[in-house]
Chains A and B, each alone.
Chain A
C-alpha cells in the first residue's frame, strides 16, 4: 500500500511514488520533501509562466519589431528577489536540520536493540543480540534500534527506502544508524554505494516483528543444543553467513553450490583439479584463496572455526548427497 505524498495535499503526481512510511522518521522526511516540493513547484511555475507570457506578448512580429523602452536595472527589485530566495532557503535549512537532528538522536521507547551489521561483497550479515546471525535484519516494531555497521572489503551503503534511511558501511571504521521501526512487515534493503559486479543484487529483507515476543521466538530457533556433528555443520552454515554465497539447491551464486559437493572433482581457476574431501574443505575455510574454483571470484573471507565446528561442516556436507 503506497502512502500518498502528503496526506494534506494528496497530489496526483507524487502519489503512489513515495515508498511506505515504516520508520518514525519517515513522516518527518516526507513533510520536508512535500514542503520543498511545493516551494519548488511554485517557483518553477512562476519561471515558466513568465517565460511563456513574455515570449508570447513581446515576440518580434511584423507589427512589433522594436522593444518598448524599459529600465535595465532596478536596485529595489534586485534586493527583493535576492532577499526572498535567501529567506526561503534559510527556512528550508532550519526545518530540515531540525528533522535531521531528530533522526540521529536516540529515541524514547526502551533500551535500543543493538545489531552489528557486516557488509561484504555482495551480501549483508546481521548479528542480532543473543548471538543469532542472519542474512535478514530482524527488528521489533516500536523499539528503537541502533545499527553498528562495518564493511570487510569496500564501501557499501545500507539503504532502507521505506525507512527513508541510508548509511555507508566503511571498511576500517564503524558507522552508526539509529531509528525506530513503527510498521510491522517485510521491507527491502539495498546497497546504495557502488561495490562491484553484484552491487545491484546485494539485497536483503528487513523483517519487523509486531512485538518483542515474536522476535524472541525467532531468535530462539536453531540455537538448541545440536545433537549430531551434521547439526553443528548446519548451524554454522546459517550462523557464519555461508548461506549468503553458497546455495543448497545446486544453483551457483557468488560461491559454488554445496549440493552434491562432497567427493566431486572440482576444476580450479589455475586449470588443475582437486577432489572435495575433508582436507580441501578445511583449507578452503581457513585459506579460501588457496584453491579458487574456476569461474568464481576470489572474494571469500577466511572463516575462523574451531576443530569441532570444522568436523561438523564436513559431516553436514556429506549429507547433502542428493536431497537438500
Chain B
C-alpha cells in the first residue's frame, strides 16, 4: 500500500455524512449490469478465436467496476478503500499472470513425458 504520502488522516471526528444513493443511480447501474450480461453472452457466440477470452474478461471487468464504484459507493467515499481494492486485485493478477507464464514455459517437458507414457501404451 504505497499510498501513505502524508494524506490527511481519515475523518475521525463528527459523523461522516452518509452517502445515500438515489434510486435512479441504483436502477441505472442494475440496468447497465443486465445489459453487459447480455452483451457478454452475445459476444461469446461470435468466434473471435483468442480474442474471445480478452473480450469476455474486459466485459467482466467493466461489470465488476460498475458494482464496485456504484453499489459499493467507491466513487463517492474515502479514496483509501478504492486503493485497497485495486492493490488486492493487482497482487491477484500478479499471482495468476506469473504462475501461468511459468507453467506455459515448461509445458513442453510435461507434454513430452505424457507422449512417452502414451507411446508405451501404459
Contacts and interface: CB of A to CB of B under 8 A. Distances in A.
- Physical contact A–B (CB less than 8 Å): yes
Interface of A: 150, 172-176
B118 interface: no
B109 interface: yes
A192 B82 CA distance: 46
A37 to B, nearest CB: 30
B8 interface: no
B114 to A, nearest CB: 8
* Ranked 8 nearest A-B pairs via Cβ: A173-B110, A174-B109, A173-B109, A173-B113, A174-B113, A174-B112, A172-B113, A150-B113
A150 B109 CA distance: 10
B79 to A, nearest CB: 29
A223 B110 CA distance: 33
Contacts of A150: 113
B106 interface: yes
User: DSSP majority for the B interface?
Assistant: helix
Interface in B100-119: 106, 109-110, 112-114
Interface in B15-52: none
B102 to A, nearest CB: 13
B115 to A, nearest CB: 10
B3 to A, nearest CB: 22
14 contacts: A150-B113, A172-B110, A172-B113, A172-B114, A173-B106, A173-B109, A173-B110, A173-B112, A173-B113, A174-B109, A174-B112, A174-B113, A175-B109, A176-B109
Which among A150, A172, A173, A175 has the highest number of chain B CB atoms within 10 Å?
A173
Contacts of B110: 172-173
Contacts of A172: 110, 113-114
Nearest to A176: B109
Given A172-B114, A174-B109, A175-B109, 11 more contacts: A150-B113, A172-B110, A172-B113, A173-B106, A173-B109, A173-B110, A173-B112, A173-B113, A174-B112, A174-B113, A176-B109
